[in-house]
A and B are shown apart, each in its own frame.
Chain A
Amino acid sequence: MSSIAQQKKIVEQLRSEASMARKPVSECVKDMIGFMNSNKDKDFLVSGFASKKDNPFQEKGGCLLL
């Protein structure tokens, strides 16, 4: 493709990207915070485990009584 043809394509692509409808940042942030709050209890990286037994990756230690 010639340089002129390539540049015409770039102009068209940028025109299309420019024309998208954008949502205000305030609404977007509000929605993100809402999602995080609704899901934080299930996100065990944020909330941790209530007890070690709840962590399926917890090493099972302890001793055997012979």
Chain B
Amino acid sequence: MEDDQPCEEELKLVAEIKEMKARIRTARKEAADADYVTETENLPPLGRLKFKVRKELHGHLAKLTDLHWGKNSDTLVTAGQDGKLFVWDVYKCMKQNAVFLNTAWVMAVSFSPDNTRVASGGLDNILSIHNLEEPEGGTPIELSGHDGYIASIRFTDASHCVTSSGDKSCALWDLQAGKIVHQFLGHENDVNALALASHSQHFASASSDKTAKLWDLREQHCRATYWGHELDVNGVDYFPQCDYAFATSSDDGSCRMWDIRADQMLANLGDDFIQCGSTCVAVSRSGRLVMAGYDDYNCHVWDLLLEERIGIMLGHDNRISCIGSQWIAVATGAWDNNSFIWTAK
């Protein structure tokens, strides 16, 4: 027998993998005792929503790649490929802090829970922690561990972060020890984004392998894999507070809502009007709205229950790259070098 022919054991394993996936599909079907459209179609519609730009944050000299709201929603940190992080007072529309990075190719930024630090990462493969209480972020703590770019970062507590990477893994970092303490393996391609559940017990990841995965932070394993998107999944955001579900955005032009307890997709937000990929997604604080950025320079606002587009956010002059929601406003960042703050009406 030639060496490159699959042996009996390999064939058996391939069959087992197929059987397990079929088992998951069947179990998900069994939990689908109701149809999402039927359960929601009689709810009162919200009507058309008008979103308006209230603040324009000008300062970056290159594309924005990521943003993160501060803990009281009065500050925002933005990252741009001019190699800068800016911390903004969003009401005064002024920079409170600027950090000049050692690399221009930043892709991810996050506030620490108490907002005294920001973490950044990008094509340098390094997780950098900057101290906002020192001028220009002080000397960064630079942590190696990933073999690929860092696409997304979130603090799970004051001394730990999770990251997602182009090396196909997610990682849990102990910042005091200065290293990765657990690697979350399973994705078969770049992990483009992650979102953290509100109590930091689990997180969801979005990958170019067309799936999203749910990871348990306490037991440190993958709990579920969600198939359905037809192309790269590049954005993810949790349903607020209760963490029942999370939304994803994809190059296939759709955004989807995945219910964690039913272990399946509930809502599919897409229509023929949208002819390009969706790049990022945010869920409003009541869970009713899903706002997503697209390659065609727009953001669309979706009613999650009725699966209808009910608003459009026009203002950016290039691809939307990042979005974040809080109770009163939405922040967007784009390849036009700008960040905008929007409110409804």
Contacts and interface: CB of A to CB of B under 8 A. Distances in A.
Interface of A: 3-4, 7-8, 10-11, 13-18, 20, 22-26, 28-33, 35-36, 38-40, 42-49, 55-59
Nearest to A52: B345
Nearest to B328: A44
A45 B343 contact: yes
A45 B344 contact: yes
The residue among B225, B242, B329, B343 with the most chain A CB atoms within 10 A of its own CB is: B343
29 contacts: A4-B10, A10-B17, A14-B21, A14-B23, A17-B20, A17-B222, A20-B263, A22-B28, A22-B262, A25-B35, A26-B39, A29-B34, A29-B266, A31-B244, A32-B245, A32-B266, A33-B40, A35-B286, A36-B288, A44-B328, A44-B344, A45-B285, A45-B325, A46-B286, A46-B289, A49-B344, A55-B54, A55-B328, A57-B328
Given A3-B10, A22-B30, A28-B259, A35 B24 contact: no
Contact of A40 (B21, B286, B325, B343): B286
Interface in B234-251: 239-242, 244-245
Interface of B: 9-10, 13-14, 16-17, 20-21, 23-24, 27-28, 30-36, 39-40, 43, 46, 49, 51, 54-55, 90-91, 186, 221-225, 239-242, 244-245, 259, 261-264, 266, 284-289, 291, 301, 305, 325, 327-330, 341, 343-345
B20 A42 contact: no
A3 B27 CA distance: 28
Contacts of B20: 11, 14-15, 17-18
Nearest to A54: B328
Contacts of B13: 4, 7-8, 10-11
Contacts of A31: 242, 244
A20 B223 contact: yes
A40 B303 CA distance: 13
The residue in A23, A30, A38 that gathers the most chain B C-beta atoms within 10 A of its C-beta is A23
Q: Is the interface of B mostly helix, strand, loop or mixed?
A: mixed
Interface of A is mostly: helix
A26 B34 contact: yes
Contact of A14 (B24, B39, B40): B24
Of A3, A46, A55, which is in contact with the most chain B CB atoms at under 10 Å from its CB?
A46
B222 A13 contact: yes
Contacts of A38: 286
Nearest to A6: B13
Given A7-B14, A22-B262, A45 B284 contact: yes
Contact of B287 (A4, A23, A39): A39
A14 B221 CA distance: 12
Nearest to A40: B286
A25 B36 CA distance: 8
B343 A11 contact: no
A55 to B, nearest CB: 6
Contacts of B40: 29, 33
Contacts of B49: 45-46, 48
A23 B239 contact: no
A54 B305 CA distance: 27
Nearest to B242: A35
Contacts of A18: 20, 23-24, 27
A36 to B, nearest CB: 5
